[in-house]
Structure 1
Amino acid sequence: LPTPRRPWLPELRETYNTASIRWRKDDSRLLLGIRDDPANQRQPAVFYEPDREGNLAVYGTGGAGKSAALRQVAVAASLAAAETPVHVYGLDFGSAGLRMLEALPTVGSIITGDDEERIARLMRELVATIEERAERYAAARASSITEYRELTGHASEPRIIVLVDGIGAFRDAYEHSTVSPWFTMFTQIAGDGRGVGVHVVVTGDRYNSVPTSLGSSIQKRLVMRLAVEDEYLNLGVPRDVLDQTSPPGRAILGDDEMQFAVLGGEANITTQAREIERLGTFLRDRGVVPAPPIRHLGDQIALADLPPVVSARQRDGSSVDLAPVGISDRTLSPFGIRTTGTLLLAGTPGSGRTTAMHTLARAVRRQRPGRVRVLVAMRPVPQLTAETWSTTAYGVDAAAELCRALLDDVRSGAADERGLALFVHSAAEFAMTAAENDLVALVKEAAGRGHFVVGESESSTWNQAYQVAQPFKAGRVGLLLAPGDSDGDGLLGTGLGRISRADFPPGRGFYIRQGVAEKIQVALPTAGDEG
């Protein structure tokens, strides 16, 4: 006799292969796994619908499968990317469980929790994207990215999904920091992103790992095995569905159980990584456009790799030529400065002041090769190589004599033909010397007539050299390397907020002009940087 059919479905399997589950691959319905529906004797697929549900949180203790759940979201989004483009980014505050996702072209970057620079860059880019999209979507009268694509025909507009493995650790590291507003920005992204196709998927190990400010923006919650029974009640799910024997990836959806799928159908991490690599190769062969990565601001930038001149548009619509001296932290593109007036160069010992002065002089030469470049210093400086300068003066007497001669040229207009760029090394050392009055007179006259004057000194010495410092401070233009919290206010009347010195390798600092500060990495003078 044939075996009689069981009147009930078998229990959920411990693993399901993502590739074996049939679903319409669309970024508006991302496959999560299989749900057990005993009331209706069904085991249907479970989906995350970002347009409707917004953001997703997965709760579970260590080993419950939270990282694998995030990987499944990324895999499902990637499988849909051939039809509906998706960009995925990850913040990994766990045990590097998201790193393997970087093999997918749809994944721009997986950023570790201690990489504040790239976390900050991602947060700023997402906020800017949401603001820019909000205007476009409102103009198109679209309430979701799916509607926007349909109404405008812009099918290439990518949905953006941000994965956070360990939201509690993210919160602990950045929520209460006076230096870093990144968790606050993340909460803003979660609240404002759904209508413009930007969504967050987070994991937490307990109910209160997600603060109220963020929890109000999370519409869908899945609960895996938890360490404490009371946590199930806190999360509003039955506490008798899962126990310590529940397999990784098992979760509670409503009152039912579900099992997250994994690519390859095996819990083994090595197998999953191999299958994700294969999927990445397949997607690239299909022509899926890679998501842009979140880049680092390097600390070894050659001046020769920058253009000799960049143009900037002014408020009146005209353009002005600038001399590139480094890379902007905000745009990661060449950063140029005006080479007129004064520039106060300050920093702590070891911050790279002398190298920065050398770079500034080389940048002036690249911008205007014929410009006269003058170095005034108390003594020869080995790093400031002789071929950089048209003229040098070392010591008080030589400095005073040269300053008087240059002052005559500036006043007579003789210096105008080629232009003058004056560099004063360790400027504070000239205070209370026989050269002070001549130097200050030259600085004021040259800057006032549109020449370029750079004064360099250690941050703590500027306030001890009132006369020498006065024209540089009055200009309110400067480059502060590895500044202290009060250096911006004290030297150039521009607050910089709380600053972490660990974020400032040699050559990194703020360029300040008329109250606006921009973080930059100063380039290194190298052979072949003549232009």
Structure 2
Amino acid sequence: GRPLPGPREAPDDASGDTVTDLAALVRAVEDAARRAGIGRQPSPWLSPLPERVRLEPRTAAGGSVVDVPAIPFGVTDLPSVQSREPLTADLVKGGHLYLAGTSRSGRSTALRTFAGSLAAGCSPFDVHLYAIDCGAGALLPMVSLPHCGAVVTRDQLDRCERLLTALGAEVSRRQQLLAEAGFASLSEQRAAVAAADRLPWMVLLLDRWEGFVGAFDSYDYGRLVDMALRLLREGAAVGLRAVFTGDRTGLTGQVSTVFDRRLVLRMADPNDYGYAGLQERQVPASMPPGRVLEVVAPGVPPRESQIGLLADDPSGTAQVAALQDIARAAATRYGRLPRGRRPIHVDELPVRATYREAMELDPDFMPPSALWSLVGVGGDTLAPVGVDLLNEGPGFVVGGPARSGRSTTLRTIAESLLDPAVAGGLVPVVLVTPRRSPLRMLAGRRGVLGLLTADSTAEDLEDAIGSEHRYAVLVDDAELLDETELDDALRDVLRTARDGEHALVVGGTTEDLGRGYRGFIADARRSRSGVLLSVDSPDDGDLFGLRLPRNASLGGPAGRGLFVRQGTTAQIQVALPPPLNG
């Protein structure tokens, strides 16, 4: 036979001579498009989500509206329908939101963007904003927003406790109000009443939940942590919405049950995604700052979104500047809100306050009785704080260690009683100073009935009071008069005060004042009204029968103290008395 033919040589792909059917079809389509003048068409597939998205917040309609619009704070990718939509939070139909992520994943930026979008798109008549910053202070610029009542940090124990207490009281008030009116929700109330009577939505932002727990879990047996969780549970039904950030600790345990929605940023450990219901294969290889995943349903791929920025420049200074621009625009648009429609304030106590500054905080203040006296400044909305010796006395005790401002407090009280512009007229005073005291500088002043010392007798006190029916006796270093002749005379002042208009104010060291169980000091303590200055031990509360937290730091600048009014406490800054020449 004939020899077999040799094997064919394979075509050289590199030469480009091989033409497949697909290549021929593509070339024919290109030629046809070129002859028809048709340009290159866009890809049918969406381009990847950008790593930075500039948010363009909508502008609020102005005034009050029944239905508050959803708050956009990013962009969501919808690959199944080849589209995108705004990433929003709906105050009306939604619930609490938790953003989980590690450090530098965009948590604080997300809250700042959320606040800016809320302030631009919602009226302060409709939404009030509050924040607890347990991070690096990224939320502090929010205080300039007219919607914002307070931004407190984790090192401000008193303000944090006051904010949670105030919000808790507002939730209780709303529960009662809605129940009495027959409304099932805040949305029903807002739709049924006039614009001026609509209750605003309340939004609480908290940056770094793990920082909040770390700061307050050991304070008073975790009472503030329990208050926050109770607030979220009970507040949802009456218009409170929370947006918290934190690490994986917010995805587990008791706190995880209060959040209706979870957005997951980049986590420190790949295993942490499992706490949010995400499988490792569902997590993109790249998670830039602000990129979030959200589980929408079992068996459905998670939604991928990018949280927006308030400015093109992602730096903190640029974002703060953009937020301040929004704040200025809102303040110009809405002006100063009426007193009854402002958000709840939790003002920071000043380091120093004078007598005149304290009284000028509330020029319209009307003392409840003629025996009202200024003590200092305090309150959630900073205002003059004083004692009504007629209804909250007749005893008032000022306790504290040496050089804590006891005598200054007594002199401020004396100046207030002697001020004819306060409480409708001058109240005469008797000053008792067993040793050198600033009270002695008031001797000879109009209204000072007498100045008694350690050598004075009961008759001296009786002569000084004379026929006065309305008066006050102020005693400095009261412990030096225990078991002296003046002891019984001062007890008589307290005894007769129940039927007259007079009172007894005593000052001394906390330790000495709490030592006796009889005498005028013990009788004065029974009113459970006074001031504890420079508290350095929880046992100081025993002076008024109070239980103070064991690990609380209640110190502060000179004049900082606990104001006790019939067993209830509040922090104040004692007002400095006016100069003697005016």
Q: TM-score, normalised by structure 2?
A: 0.79
Assess if the C-alpha contact under 8 Å between 1:343 and 1:478 holds in 2: yes
Query: Is the alpha carbon distance of 1:86 and 1:471 closer, same or farther for their aligned partners in structure 2, counting shifts above 3 Å?
Result: closer
Assess if the C-alpha contact under 8 Å between 2:217 and 2:223 holds in 1: yes
Query: Is the alpha carbon distance of 1:310 and 1:447 closer, same or farther for their aligned partners in structure 2, counting shifts above 3 Å?
Result: farther
**Aligned equivalents of 1:519 and 1:130: distance in 2?**
23
Assess if the C-alpha contact under 8 Å between 2:346 and 2:379 holds in 1: no
**Which residue identity lines up with residue 404 of structure 1 in the other structure?**
E
**Which residue identity lines up with residue 433 of structure 2 in the other structure?**
A
Assess if the C-alpha contact under 8 Å between 2:401 and 2:510 holds in 1: yes
2:574 is matched with 522
1:145-156 residue pairs with structure 2 within 5 A? 145-154=186-195
**Aligned equivalents of 1:218 and 1:526: distance in 2?**
52
Worse-matched range after superposition: 212-221 or 515-524: 515-524
Deviation at 1:202, TM superposition (A): 0.6
1:376 is matched with 432
Q: Does residue 227 of structure 1 match 2:268?
A: yes
Q: Does residue 14 of structure 1 match 2:51?
A: yes
1:279 is matched with 326
**Aligned equivalents of 2:521 and 2:270: distance in 1?**
66
Query: Is the alpha carbon distance of 1:178 and 1:439 closer, same or farther for their aligned partners in structure 2, counting shifts above 3 Å?
Result: same
Q: Deviations over 1:464-487 (max 9, x none)?
A: 555453433455444332343223
**Aligned equivalents of 2:323 and 2:162: distance in 1?**
26
1:263-342 residue pairs with structure 2 within 5 A? 263-287=310-334, 292=343, 293-304=345-356, 305-306=358-359, 310-312=366-368, 322-329=372-379, 332-339=382-389, 341-342=394-395
**Aligned equivalents of 1:109 and 1:467: distance in 2?**
45
**Aligned equivalents of 2:76 and 2:224: distance in 1?**
36
Three-state SS of the structure 2 residue aligned to 1:178 is helix
1:315 is matched with none
**Aligned equivalents of 1:514 and 1:270: distance in 2?**
48
Query: Is the alpha carbon distance of 1:392 and 1:67 closer, same or farther for their aligned partners in structure 2, counting shifts above 3 Å?
Result: same
Worse-matched range after superposition: 86-95 or 133-142: 133-142
Query: Is the alpha carbon distance of 1:453 and 1:180 closer, same or farther for their aligned partners in structure 2, counting shifts above 3 Å?
Result: farther
Assess if the C-alpha contact under 8 Å between 2:57 and 2:72 holds in 1: no
Deviation at 1:524, TM superposition (A): 1.6
1:485 is matched with 538
Among 305, 317, 333, the alignment partner of 1:258 is 305
2:175 is matched with 134
Deviation at 1:371, TM superposition (A): 4.2
1:67 is matched with 108
Among 392, 398, 406, the alignment partner of 2:451 is 392
Deviation at 1:331, TM superposition (A): 5.9
2:412 is matched with 359
2:208 is matched with 166
**Aligned equivalents of 1:380 and 1:163: distance in 2?**
52
**Aligned equivalents of 1:144 and 1:36: distance in 2?**
33
Deviation at 1:159, TM superposition (A): 1.7
Assess if the C-alpha contact under 8 Å between 2:97 and 2:242 holds in 1: yes
Assess if the C-alpha contact under 8 Å between 2:128 and 2:147 holds in 1: yes
2:400 is matched with 347
1:440 is matched with 487
2:506 is matched with 455
**Which residue identity lines up with residue 391 of structure 1 in the other structure?**
G
2:218 is matched with 176
Structure 2 gaps of 5+ residues are 1-33, 296-301
Q: Deviations over 1:232-266 (max 9, x none)?
A: 11210232344563221111122121111222344
Three-state SS of the structure 1 residue aligned to 2:51 is coil
Q: Could you say what the CA RMSD is over the residues aligned between the two structures, in angstroms?
A: 3.2
**Aligned equivalents of 2:490 and 2:124: distance in 1?**
63
Q: Deviations over 1:452-501 (max 9, x none)?
A: 22222211223555545343345544433234322333x33344444734
Deviation at 1:211, TM superposition (A): 5.7
**Aligned equivalents of 2:260 and 2:292: distance in 1?**
16
Q: Deviations over 1:60-102 (max 9, x none)?
A: 1122111121122212211222497322222221122223434
1:425 is matched with 476
Assess if the C-alpha contact under 8 Å between 2:452 and 2:461 holds in 1: no
Assess if the C-alpha contact under 8 Å between 2:433 and 2:475 holds in 1: yes
Q: TM-score, normalised by structure 1?
A: 0.85
Among 199, 206, 216, the alignment partner of 1:157 is 199
**Aligned equivalents of 1:463 and 1:126: distance in 2?**
35
Deviation at 1:226, TM superposition (A): 0.8
Q: Deviations over 1:27-62 (max 9, x none)?
A: 341113222222222222222123322100011112
Assess if the C-alpha contact under 8 Å between 2:373 and 2:386 holds in 1: yes
**Aligned equivalents of 2:525 and 2:330: distance in 1?**
56
Three-state SS of the structure 2 residue aligned to 1:91 is strand
Three-state SS of the structure 1 residue aligned to 2:258 is coil
Q: Deviations over 1:370-417 (max 9, x none)?
A: 5442222233324642345442233x43x23xx32333676xxx4335
Query: Is the alpha carbon distance of 1:390 and 1:180 closer, same or farther for their aligned partners in structure 2, counting shifts above 3 Å?
Result: farther
**Aligned equivalents of 1:180 and 1:327: distance in 2?**
29
Deviation at 1:529, TM superposition (A): 10
Assess if the C-alpha contact under 8 Å between 1:51 and 1:195 holds in 2: no
Three-state SS of the structure 2 residue aligned to 1:19 is coil
Query: Is the alpha carbon distance of 1:161 and 1:528 closer, same or farther for their aligned partners in structure 2, counting shifts above 3 Å?
Result: farther
Worse-matched range after superposition: 180-189 or 464-473: 464-473
Q: Percent identity?
A: 25
**Aligned equivalents of 1:76 and 1:243: distance in 2?**
27
**Which residue identity lines up with residue 407 of structure 1 in the other structure?**
E
**Aligned equivalents of 2:545 and 2:318: distance in 1?**
58
Aligned residues: 510
**Which residue identity lines up with residue 446 of structure 1 in the other structure?**
V
Assess if the C-alpha contact under 8 Å between 1:329 and 1:518 holds in 2: yes
1:73-88 residue pairs with structure 2 within 5 A? 73-82=114-123, 85-88=126-129
Assess if the C-alpha contact under 8 Å between 2:417 and 2:426 holds in 1: no
Q: Deviations over 1:283-322 (max 9, x none)?
A: 233226666443112242222342798444xxxxxx7752
Three-state SS of the structure 2 residue aligned to 1:358 is helix
Query: Is the alpha carbon distance of 1:54 and 1:406 closer, same or farther for their aligned partners in structure 2, counting shifts above 3 Å?
Result: same
Q: Does residue 190 of structure 1 match 2:241?
A: no
1:316 is matched with none
Assess if the C-alpha contact under 8 Å between 1:325 and 1:336 holds in 2: yes
**Aligned equivalents of 1:379 and 1:109: distance in 2?**
45
Among 460, 485, 489, the alignment partner of 1:405 is 460
1:30 is matched with 71
Three-state SS of the structure 2 residue aligned to 1:506 is coil
Structure ID, larger Rg:
2
Deviation at 1:129, TM superposition (A): 1.6
Assess if the C-alpha contact under 8 Å between 1:300 and 1:523 holds in 2: yes
